[in-house]
Structure 1
Amino acid sequence: MNTAEWATRQAGALKAEGEAEKASSEIDCFYDTLCHMARRLFGVGAVAVRPGVEDSCRVGLAEHIDAAAAAPAIRSAMALLSAADEAVEPSNSREAGSLSLIASSTFGDDGRLALFDAARGRLDIEERQHLQDLARLAEGLWRLERRAREAALQGEHFRLLADTSTDTIIRGNLDGIRLYVSPAIRELLGYEPEELVGRRAIDITHADDVPTFGRLMGKVRAGDLDVGRVEQRMLHKDGSWCWIEAHIRLTQDKRTGEPDGYVVSVRGIDERKAIEARLELLANRDELTGLPNRKLFRERLLAGLSKVGSGERRFALWWIDIDRFKDINDSLGHQAGDAVLREAALRFEAVARPGDIVARLGGDEFALIGAVGPDDAEAAALAEQLIEAMRVPVAAGDHTIEVGLSIGIACAPDCGLDPDELLAAADKALYQAKSAGRRTYRFCQKLAAR
């Protein structure tokens, strides 16, 4: 389902309660949500949505921005935008206070969604597509808002829309008991609607997500949130856990105006979560070996060094280089070289102790960090184990490859407490090990002896 369809079904659910007179204010909530989503997605300070030249301009601002100063300036900048401006990447020359126009996209007859920030650069191709998708969402909201002005929908429309929606629509009372569940629940979680009516959502919510869900529902019931949004895992009928995104809105009795329940739109986000997990993995892990990459290694190194001095144990860095790795690549090919790197990673991890971190820093360079005793014996013993682990030749296709290691060792606080200083000391010790004939290790020269 695309973003515009999402907007259509969400606003349709709001009208389904027979509250057409409140539709415009409720749609405003979704414009606010749209602005919030866009700010988080693009990392900008402000987002503005103007459905049409005669419509009010909605502005969403980051918390650190002065709304009193920025909002009027942004609305003025939006008023100057015309169809002659580029749809995706207009000039940054139009300013709104301290914020500049970064990019905008048109929708509907003359609507526009625009991003403003003080320092953000131009959007890349993928970000431009995301902006266009959000503009289509805004167009969906605009079309619904326009229809809400023309006619009131009857209460029966709620069930009609919910029954045909690909999102799951749920109606519940203030105790959290479901009163209605749309047929889309079959596709989402495998249940028949009747199986969930009369039960609470929390009954099939993952235990780790219950506290967050409970706090959100409390805010919705208290009226602190017009629209609550949550991502959580829910139990599929087959026993698996599925990630869902839910938008929850408190409903009021038409006669008294008092809260009488809630309406929820639920959709599955397993695919999105898988992409997010993949991106997280790529950001912190080496793709070839699966080991922590340089970025994650440095974070762990900083964390380890911060604990030095809290006890008698020191913190050690083993800088590991595969001897003559270039010769392996040049003579046997990169596939053989990759096989050596993957096998080395497995063997290093097998040698590592609980609490140690093994990382690939790039090329044929690896590192291991961990706590050691007050003398050099423990660090030396582990270096010998690493070298010994590679004495068994590595099989790569039809080739059997002899692999040696050279290792430089630097310990904190002996060789410094600064990460760069410790890395430089280990690198110098590694060079000494290579000069000594390879397949050996050397310790850095201690600060006191320099």
Structure 2
Amino acid sequence: MCLAAEGEPGSPTPLIVSPAGECPAGLPFDGLCRLARSLLQVPAASLCLTGDRGHWLDVAEGLDAGAWHFATSLNGRPDSGAGVMVVEDVAANPVFAPWAHGLPGVTLRFIASLPLPGGAGRLAVFDVRPRGLDAVERGRLADLVELASAGLRLIDQAEQAAMRENHFRLLAETSTDTIVRGNLDGVRLYVSPSVRTLIGYEPEELVGRRAMEIVHPDDLTTFAALMGQIRSGQLSIGVVEVRQRHKDGSWVWMEASVRLTYDPLTREPDGYVSSVRDIGRRKLAEQRLEHLASHDALTELPNRTLFNARLDALCASKGDAPSQFAVFCIDIDHFKQVNDTLGHQAGDSVLREAARRFRSVAEAGDLVARTGGDEFALIMPVAGDIAAVAARAGRILTAMQPPFVFGESTLSIGVSIGIALAPHDGADPDRLASAADRALYEAKSAGRNGYRLSTPSPLRG
């Protein structure tokens, strides 16, 4: 039986009796008191912890447990410091004599007690007759105190672990990041509630499944490589950006920071913890920056950087036969006059409309770019049909024939086009660009609003 009470001997404080296993703080030390009573052959033993952690008492059958309530409190009990306190005859000891005569229903003649380390409490045994405590019994009392102390340490560690778990769960379940715990096979063991916002699933729908199941096919190789390094112990921490399928079927860009975890006893890898966050907005911003870096802000056409990259790639391509393509250099005729007479807003309007018309005649595989102020360029694949190059130039000239309108002004805008053919006019970007520029100069010299090829002979026959 576990007894809890407060007050000094003879105080009117009511005794609180709790069934075994329901002692304060839930600490199961009633068995230790029974063991102490049995080992030391005494009718009563108690363990009193400081604070509100609880008190335990075990008394021999036939004794009035309620009369022994004094043994369940440290209040009023003389303190012996860190050593064993042995009172062989309570009645003969002037300090303890009040305990012998002031306890109704109890004949108390012997007390022995030993404090727990750190002032955590005291273990005490009582007898109704005077007696001593030999060396063996003192050793047993010390062993029992060590058992009680070890039990308290385990309980403290368990409480701290539970507190850490509660803190982790609180953080995991309130974090905007999704926390995932998985084993070395990649199977999820825990998924935090924020996954609902991330990809629309309930946590229970993902526990027991592998993340690989919903990774975008294009990202599987990267993701599998990272998880393989984590599982093998080659990498203890890794970060990967992948797309995972939302429950509605869409794809969500996310960044996963994955950390290998270890068994606390064996120190062997036992799984992973991952913190996952939505990076969709960041990806959109990155894509926008990439677009701005490679496209003209006014016309939305690819800029010179992207044009040069495509030209370099085509010239560098290796195959059974050199790549055949045409490079068009296109200048808007008399564009400076538009700016000088109507202003830069009119000039910008002409550039935007010209870009729209160039796009309208482009076909799959073409690249139309704005490479300078009033300068545009076109890369056109040529699949053996060289005559298609001249036809495309004619379509560009035709597209420019309708008048351009700016406010109340109607403008007739023409273009001059110079064309170089690869590999006939060159197999490197510089030679092709120079050939197209020479052809453009010839088109302008011939009166503008027309086209010229760097080498006309490929079109004949």
Opposite residue 347 of structure 2, the aligned amino acid is G
Question: Counterpart in 1 of 2:338?
Answer: 328
Question: Counterpart in 1 of 2:365?
Answer: 355
Displacement after TM superposition at 1:359 (Å): 1.3
Question: Counterpart in 2 of 1:224?
Answer: 234
- Pick the aligned partner of 2:263 from 253, 258, 263: 253
Whether the 8 Å contact between 2:314 and 2:323 is mirrored in structure 1 is no
Q: Distance in 1 between matches of 2:180 and 2:322?
A: 59
| Matched residue SS, 2:204 | helix
The change in CA–CA distance for 1:433 and 1:252 in structure 2 (over 3 A counts) is same
- Pick the aligned partner of 1:278 from 282, 288, 293: 288
Q: Distance in 1 between matches of 2:440 and 2:332?
A: 11
Residue 433 (structure 1) aligned with residue 459 (structure 2): no
Displacement after TM superposition at 1:384 (Å): 1.4
Q: Distance in 1 between matches of 2:299 and 2:320?
A: 33
Q: Distance in 2 between matches of 1:231 and 1:372?
A: 38
| Matched residue SS, 1:416 | coil
Displacement after TM superposition at 1:396 (Å): 3.7
Aligned-residue Cα RMSD (Å) equals 2.9
Opposite residue 421 of structure 2, the aligned amino acid is C
Whether the 8 Å contact between 1:251 and 1:259 is mirrored in structure 2 is yes
Identity rate, percent: 60
Whether the 8 Å contact between 1:304 and 1:370 is mirrored in structure 2 is no
1:36-115 aligned at under 5 Å gives the runs: none
Question: Counterpart in 2 of 1:215?
Answer: 225
Displacement after TM superposition at 1:374 (Å): 7.0
Per-residue CA deviations over 1:143-178 (Å, capped at 9, x if unaligned) read xxxxxxxx9983443223222323211112223222
Question: Counterpart in 2 of 1:134?
Answer: none
Normalised to the residue count of structure 2, the TM-score between the two structures is: 0.59
Question: Counterpart in 2 of 1:175?
Answer: 185
Opposite residue 236 of structure 1, the aligned amino acid is H
| Matched residue SS, 2:301 | coil
Opposite residue 255 of structure 2, the aligned amino acid is E
Question: Counterpart in 1 of 2:278?
Answer: 268
Task: Tell me which moved more, 151-160 or 238-247.
Answer: 151-160
Whether the 8 Å contact between 2:216 and 2:243 is mirrored in structure 1 is yes
Displacement after TM superposition at 1:186 (Å): 3.1
Opposite residue 275 of structure 2, the aligned amino acid is S
Opposite residue 195 of structure 2, the aligned amino acid is I
| Matched residue SS, 1:260 | strand
Normalised to the residue count of structure 1, the TM-score between the two structures is: 0.60
Question: Counterpart in 2 of 1:235?
Answer: 245
Q: Distance in 1 between matches of 2:336 and 2:274?
A: 59
The change in CA–CA distance for 1:241 and 1:397 in structure 2 (over 3 A counts) is farther
Opposite residue 190 of structure 1, the aligned amino acid is G
Question: Counterpart in 1 of 2:427?
Answer: 417
Whether the 8 Å contact between 1:408 and 1:433 is mirrored in structure 2 is yes
Displacement after TM superposition at 1:218 (Å): 1.6
Q: Distance in 2 between matches of 1:173 and 1:373?
A: 54
Residue segments in structure 2 that go unaligned for 5+ positions in a row: 1-159
Whether the 8 Å contact between 2:419 and 2:453 is mirrored in structure 1 is yes
Whether the 8 Å contact between 1:415 and 1:446 is mirrored in structure 2 is no
- Pick the aligned partner of 2:400 from 390, 395, 399: 390
The change in CA–CA distance for 1:307 and 1:172 in structure 2 (over 3 A counts) is closer
Residue 338 (structure 1) aligned with residue 314 (structure 2): no
The change in CA–CA distance for 1:375 and 1:200 in structure 2 (over 3 A counts) is closer
Displacement after TM superposition at 1:232 (Å): 0.8
Opposite residue 177 of structure 2, the aligned amino acid is D
Q: Distance in 1 between matches of 2:221 and 2:396?
A: 45
Q: Distance in 1 between matches of 2:273 and 2:310?
A: 45
Opposite residue 294 of structure 1, the aligned amino acid is R
Residue segments in structure 1 that go unaligned for 5+ positions in a row: 1-150
The change in CA–CA distance for 1:399 and 1:191 in structure 2 (over 3 A counts) is farther
Q: Distance in 2 between matches of 1:238 and 1:175?
A: 27
Whether the 8 Å contact between 1:168 and 1:181 is mirrored in structure 2 is yes
Per-residue CA deviations over 1:412-448 (Å, capped at 9, x if unaligned) read 344333322322222222122112111111222589x
| Matched residue SS, 2:164 | coil
Per-residue CA deviations over 1:382-405 (Å, capped at 9, x if unaligned) read 211111111122344444332111
| Matched residue SS, 1:292 | coil
Displacement after TM superposition at 1:192 (Å): 3.2
The change in CA–CA distance for 1:248 and 1:381 in structure 2 (over 3 A counts) is same
Question: Counterpart in 2 of 1:405?
Answer: 415
Opposite residue 332 of structure 1, the aligned amino acid is L
Displacement after TM superposition at 1:226 (Å): 0.4
Whether the 8 Å contact between 2:255 and 2:277 is mirrored in structure 1 is yes
- Pick the aligned partner of 1:444 from 439, 445, 454: 454
| Matched residue SS, 1:362 | coil
| Matched residue SS, 1:154 | helix
Whether the 8 Å contact between 2:315 and 2:323 is mirrored in structure 1 is no
Displacement after TM superposition at 1:296 (Å): 1.3
Q: Distance in 2 between matches of 1:169 and 1:270?
A: 18
Question: Counterpart in 1 of 2:374?
Answer: 364
Displacement after TM superposition at 1:197 (Å): 2.4
Residue 160 (structure 1) aligned with residue 170 (structure 2): yes
Residue 305 (structure 1) aligned with residue 315 (structure 2): yes
Whether the 8 Å contact between 2:188 and 2:206 is mirrored in structure 1 is yes
Opposite residue 350 of structure 2, the aligned amino acid is V
Whether the 8 Å contact between 1:393 and 1:403 is mirrored in structure 2 is yes
Whether the 8 Å contact between 1:312 and 1:374 is mirrored in structure 2 is no
The change in CA–CA distance for 1:288 and 1:416 in structure 2 (over 3 A counts) is same
| Matched residue SS, 1:420 | helix
Which of 1 and 2 has higher RCO (CA within 8 Å, sep 6+)?
1
Displacement after TM superposition at 1:250 (Å): 1.9
Displacement after TM superposition at 1:306 (Å): 3.6
